[in-house]
Structure formats: structure tokens, C-alpha cells
Amino acid sequence: MTTISRRTLLQAAAAMAVSPLMMQAKAASAAASYNFVRIDGLAEQAVGETVLKELYRRAGLEVSVTAMPGRRALQEAASGAKDGETLRVYALGENKPSLIRLPTPLSSLQTVAFAQKGANVSVTSKEDLANYRNIVVKGVLHTEAITKGVNGVQEATDASSMFKMVKVGRVDLALTSAFDGQVWIERLGYGDALEMLTPALNDQPLYHYVHESKRAVLDVIAPIAKEMETSGELADIRSSAEQAYLMTL
């Protein structure tokens, strides 16, 4: 009878064991397809969708993205009805524990104010917002955060309505990202009427989030995202996506 040593048995058991990370990675690959949400009507979100799809494509995973109003998008992602958010600010993960953040940011945004050209407006910090009538798009977290504590902030359902309110003089400032604002001014033909104020009021990275039930996929895409960031590919893909988006205007 052949005697099997204890060491051999342990080695065999170790070979058969599957680590939790390996199991998560296999589960993620088995899922194959994910449906995320993004905020409708915002240019940087559309660009983020392009970047996200390329990241998942490199992992061999399929992605679809549904655009919807900001607050509804957050509800769908946080509840698990959708698999996560395309791009959101860092603070989202602190306030919504059911959403897990990809460590590498996929993009960034600068929060800026837009005003009528020639208006007697001076905004160099977020504290200056209290001196003016402000409007933001409902459900956009970075503008909600920067206007926190400012009285009388109005909310528009979309960026088009927000900029129209500034043009007709019903508010003084529209707050959004620099890229999104420039896109909408071009789209609406308001280049002679409105201008972006400098400096930017805030500059922050944007992160991809997945619902906790799909967190296994982060083990698959995280190293790919990090490599893309280090090589500069992430910035190149984002720049190309921005240029492609501008060409559609």
C-alpha cells in the first residue's frame, strides 16, 4: 500500500483550493454583461461612457449604459436595479455604501460658473456665490455640493433650461462643469451672450462605481484601469472621446 505523506496531502488541498479573488474574477467573467447608468444631458457623462466601455472591452466584458436624470440614476444604482454608475465624484462612495468605487479615476471635472457677457459679476471662490442668483441641474452632485449653504439656488431639469434662464436674466449664474458648459453654449448658439468665468471653483476626479452585488468585477478591471492610467492611454482615450463628441455638435 502506498503511503501518502501529510505534506503531499496539504499540497494537493492547496492546489484544489480557489482563492476568494479568483472566485470573484470568475464570477465577474461569467456575468459577461453589465448595465450601468449615467446622468442624461451632460457632456462629460457621455464622454465617460465611451471611456468606460473601452475599459470593460479590454477586460472582455460587455457594457450597456442607460442615461437618466441624476437623482433617478443614483437611486437605480444604489438599489441594485442597475449595476452601478458610469462616473461620479469621490463623495458619492462616502454617502452611498452600497456603491463601491473603482480606485483609479476615469476622468475629472472643473466646476465653473457661466454668466451673461458684460454682466457685473465677480466669482473667484465658492463663497462669492452667495452674492448672486444661482441655478444648477437637479441631481448633479458636484454643483449641489458647491452651492450647499447658499440660499435660493434654483434647480433646472436639464442643462438647456439652465442656460436659457441665464440668457434671459432670470438668474445670474449657471453652475456646471467647464466641458459641459462649453458644449451647451455651442449647441444653443449662446456664444455671443454667455461666457465662462474663471478661475474654476473646484477641480476633482470622477470615479466609476459598481453596486456591491457586482463588486467582483472590480478585481478584473482595476489592474487594467491602473495600467491605462500609468501608460497615458486613459487620458488619450478621454481626449479622443471629447473631440468626437464636439464633432457631433
The pLDDT tens digits for 59-81 are 999 999 999 999 999 999 999 99
CA distance 207 to 204: 10
Per mean pLDDT, which range of 7-16, 124-133, 159-168 is the poorest?
A: 7-16
* Residue 156 · residue 40 · CB < 8 Å: no
Q: pLDDT confidence of 46, banded at 50, 70, 90?
A: very high
Which uninterrupted H or E stretch holds 88? strand 84-89
CATH of region 109-203, choose from 3.50.50.60, 3.30.70.560, 3.40.190.10, 3.30.70.100: 3.40.190.10
What is the pLDDT at residue 7? 52
What does the pLDDT read at residue 18? 40
249 pLDDT band, cuts 50/70/90, is confident
What pLDDT is attached to residue 5?
A: 52
The CATH number fitting domain 20-108+205-247, selected from 1.10.3720.10, 3.90.550.10, 3.40.190.10, 3.50.50.60: 3.40.190.10
